[in-house]
Amino acid sequence: MTRRRVLPGLRLALGVTLLYAAIIIVLPLGALVFKAASLGPEDYWRIVSSGRALASYRVTVLSALAATAFNLVFGMALAWVLVRYRFPGKRFVDALVDLPFALPTAVAGIALTTLFAPNGWFGEPLAAIGVTVAYTPLGIMVAMAFTSLPFIVRTVQPVLEDLDPALEEAAQTLGGSDASIFVRVILPLLAPALLAGVSLSFARSLGEFGAIIFIAGNQPFETEITALLAFIRLEEYDYQAAAAIASVLLITAFLMLAVTNLLQARALRYTARG
């Protein structure tokens, strides 16, 4: 046990890690829960189940679901193309995938709003065929999809790269058509990565704020997301209500993480390398 390691010993490393986790993660979340808990059950329930709050959950969750579903298909296709094909500009496209991570979300929001505004590059032709994106739930979806795309691409890509091409060849010689190979061999092997990507993408969409408020229009009951509602309560100095609404987002995120981890542990039991 006296083997020397590059980094200093367990006590120091663990101490720093735990301290950091406590200050950065646990403390703010604890304060939030504490604030929300100071409300008392009846008031808490009244705030989190008010009509406006419920409408905001609906808008947020439905948009996030739609954005994630879109990213599931498009992100997987993008990962597939980046792994399986060689084409000019591939490295550029590969780098472009990370842009939503790097771009300030407000910049993304303004850019998307400019594009999709009724007189924007995309907005105008879309308006001609009767589709309005800006200031509708569709706009929220577009903003969510934009900011969360890298999650699915970047979780699927490495798994796809490691996928032994002989597996597909074996399935082909065994008589599998392209469709049956995709459904029965490739998809199940990608499932853990897809699940991780989907849950990260969904969680990010639930919590996205900066990119959405510019394009959403922010009409209560129509295009108001939960994060914005919490922000509005905060601006009204109603800290407890803000904390209560935020705690709903927090609990949802925690539940999702737990479920995802459970599912992943199950899926990985057999596919992970021994």
Partner 1 sequence: MSTVEIRGVSKRYGSVAALDDVSLEFADGEFFGLLGPSGSGKTTLLRSIAGFVEPDRGSIHVGGEEIARVPIYRRDIGMVFQNYALFPHMSVSDNIAFGLSVRGIGREEIRARVEDALKLVRLEGYGERRPRQLSGGQQQRVALARAVVSRPRVLLLDEPLGALDKNLRQQMQIELKQIQRLVGITTVLVTHDQEEALTLSDRIAVFNQGRVIQAGTPGEIYDSPRSAFVADFMGEANFFIGRVARRQGDEMQIVLDDGAAVMASGPSRLAENAAVRLVVRPEKMSISASEASIPPHHANRLAATVEQVVFMGSSITYRLNCAGAEVSVYQQNQDPPRAAEGGAVWISWRATDTIPVDD
Residues near partner 1 (CB under 8 A), total: 21
53 alpha carbon, distance to own chain's centre: 21
Does residue 38 interact with partner 1 by CB under 8 A? no
What is the identity of the amino acid at 135?
Answer: Y
Residue number with CB closer to partner 1 (17 or 172): 172
Taking the complex as a whole, how short is the minimal distance between the CB of residue 263 and partner 1, in angstroms? 14
Among 161, 169, 222, 236, binds partner 1 (CB under 8 A): 169
DSSP tag of 151: H
156 binds partner 1 (CB under 8 A): no
C-alpha to C-alpha distance for 250 and 202, rounded to whole angstroms: 13
At residue 182, the 3 state secondary structure works out as: helix
* Least distance to partner 1, CB of residue 78, Å: 24
Residue 177 binds partner 1, judged by CB under 8 A: yes
- For 58-104, strand residue ranges (E) read none
If one asks whether residue 166 binds partner 1 (CB under 8 A), the answer comes out as yes
**From the CB of 269, what's the least distance to partner 1, in Å?**
9
In the complex, minimum distance from the CB of residue 197 to partner 1, in angstroms, rounded to a whole number: 18
Euclidean distance between CA atoms 74 and 153, whole angstroms:
9
For residue 201, how many other CB atoms are within 10 A of its CB?
28
Distance CA 67, CA 92 (A): 24
Q: Does 265 bind partner 1 (CB under 8 A)?
A: no
215 contacts 208 by C-beta, under 8 angstroms: no
The answer to whether residue 176 forms part of the interface with partner 1 (CB under 8 A) is: yes
> Contact with partner 1 (CB under 8 A): which of 97, 112, 185, 198?
185
Q: Is 86 in the site for partner 1 (CB under 8 A)?
A: no
Structural Rg of the chain based on CA atoms: 22
CB of 168 to partner 1, least distance (A): 9
Task: Quote the CA–CA distance of 265 and 166 in Å, as a whole number.
Answer: 26
By CB under 8 A, is residue 274 in contact with partner 1?
Answer: yes
Provide the mask over 101-130, with x wherever binding to partner 1 is found by CB under 8 A and - wherever it is not: ------------------------------
* Binding of partner 1 by 158 (CB under 8 A): no
58 interacts with partner 1 by CB under 8 A: no
* Phi then psi dihedrals of residue 77, to 5 deg: -60, -40
Residue 46, classified by CB atoms within 10 Å of its CB into exposed (0-12), middle (13-18) or buried (19+), is: middle
Binding residues for partner 1, rule: CB under 8 A, are: 164, 166-167, 169-177, 180, 184-185, 188-189, 270-271, 273-274
